[in-house]
Amino acid sequence: MKRIQFYEYSGFLGQNGEVTSSIAQLSLRPQEVQFLKTISESVFRGKRIFDIGATEIRATSLVGVVAFGNVQIEILPKLIKFEHDSDKKLRASILKNLMFMLSYTNCVETADAGVGNLSEKSDSFIEAYIGIFASRLLSHLIRFGTPKDYVSKEENLSVIRGRIAFSKHSSLNCFDQSKVFCAFSEFSENNPLSQAFKYVAQNLLKFTSSPDNSNTLNRCVGMLDGVVAKYISPSELTRAVVGKKNPNFVALISLLKMFLAKMRPEFGGTPEQKVFTLLFDMNELFEDFIFQSLKRHSTLLEIEVTAQKKRRLVSEERDLAGSRSWSPKKLFDTFTDISIKPKIGKEFIIDTKYKVISNEKSHYGISNQDAYQILAYRQIHKQNGEEPSVALLYPLGETALQKEFRITGSNSTFSAWTIDVSRDLKSSMNSFIEDLRVLIAHGTEVFEKDEAA
């Protein structure tokens, strides 16, 4: 198995331990590079996994795993821990933070024990999740046995079982009265949940390079010996209610659904066409993590928080070739990332941007588009003549930033802040929330300054 490690918005770790974007140093054949380009452009609608040119390749904001043939590519977040280092402890800290964020935002339910232990034991994103799934499945099978459930079946039988399906019976058995076509339920281990468990376990064996994971998965497959492995749509598993109050079982089903969602229709065709992708957009994950952090601590912070608040850019229109009179017309949807209403004070809008900010860059790395967008939110969400406070929030890179900018010719301002997501998030949530509290407090101060002006 060829294992290649990329960093988001950057290149890959070369054999000399340095990060490079040179395709010449990528240990892939030309046809594999071309196949990777095809995958990159087709997995996500409107997004590319990699920017691939004639001589260079860089990852985008998508992190996770891409596997095909004997190639396994892992893309790690850069800003969760921004140093480039091949040290296993550093990789473990990156995985731990990423897995914690995915669990905290309910993207992937893994439970705390799984996040901490598996990320520290594994040096691979995919191996960590395979390990969590395999160990939980094995524990469940040892403790409860193969899941059994009633399975609906239809068969042409010699005796009546269940109910007679008269329409099919009359068409099939009009000349043979010795048979009865029946519909019935059978309590069986060969049910959709068990079939999905075995299907995922068998296919994960193709991607794991960990002896421990292989051993655990093989034990799971052996214990499901009487079950026919079958792809089951994740939506079909929503009725799996056995043990639903057990957090470990809920996490197991969540991982099962996640793997199933990534395994279709990739498993099929030639070996090189068998593709597995487990990817997450860090732009979306960063926004959702900030929102969930605020929402879960809203009582402590004394705020109400809303995600993706919709507001129309246009409220009226008039026909300049006609009557020229204004009439109500709502056009052009806009969605703020996060809207906050403090217990005392006015609305505060945060627009998260997952990108590198630095004092060394022009405008500190804040794009014109970012500034225009946040100012548009300030104008659109004005109520009763009062504008909300607005801030751009970026992950902390190498430079901390806490700036407020006043707009030329007005008293309107916007802020740009960074917040550290490279700390151990699991053990440092209190300090993380305190940093958000400071940001919210600053939003209230902005109102006071504007009113005084």
Per-residue pLDDT tens for 154-184?
A: 788 888 787 878 778 877 887 777 888 888 7
- Is position 102 within any domain? no
Whole-structure pTM value: 0.75
425 lies in the same domain as 302: yes
- Is position 162 within any domain? yes
302 lies in the same domain as 168: no
Task: Using the structure block, give the residue that is written with the tokens 């009113």.
Answer: 451
- Look at residues 188, 217, 247 and tell me which one is the last residue of a structural domain: 188
- Is position 164 within any domain? yes
Q: Please give the tally of structural domains in the chain.
A: 2
- Is position 399 within any domain? yes
* Tokens found for residue 212: 């421990």
- Look at residues 160, 188, 216 and tell me which one is the last residue of a structural domain: 188
Burial class (CB in 10 A: 0-12, 13-18, 19+), 190: middle
5 contacts 74 by C-beta, under 8 angstroms: yes
Predicted local confidence at residue 244, as pLDDT: 52
Question: Residue 405 maps to which CATH number?
Answer: 3.40.1350
- Is position 182 within any domain? yes
Residue-wise pLDDT tens digits, 404-440: 888 888 888 889 999 998 888 888 999 999 999 999 8
C-alpha to C-alpha distance for 115 and 8, rounded to whole angstroms = 21
Measured CA to CA in angstroms, residue 353 lies from 13, 15, 272, 418 at distances of 26, 32, 36, 10
- Look at residues 136, 168, 188 and tell me which one is the last residue of a structural domain: 188
Q: Which parts of the chain have pLDDT scores under 70? A: 79-92, 108-123, 150-151, 238-247, 263-274, 308-315, 324, 329-336, 384, 444-453
Predicted local confidence at residue 329, as pLDDT: 67
- Is position 58 within any domain? no
Residue 337's CB: how many other CB atoms inside 10 A? 22
- DSSP bridge partners of 76: 7
175 lies in the same domain as 309: no
- Is position 381 within any domain? yes
Predicted local confidence at residue 171, as pLDDT: 76
Predicted local confidence at residue 267, as pLDDT: 42
- Is position 347 within any domain? yes
Domain range for 154 is: 149-188
Predicted local confidence at residue 279, as pLDDT: 86
Predicted local confidence at residue 112, as pLDDT: 43
Cα-flanking dihedrals φ and ψ of residue 325, to 5°? -90, 145
171 lies in the same domain as 302: no
Predicted local confidence at residue 344, as pLDDT: 74
Note the residue count of the chain: 453
Predicted local confidence at residue 221, as pLDDT: 95
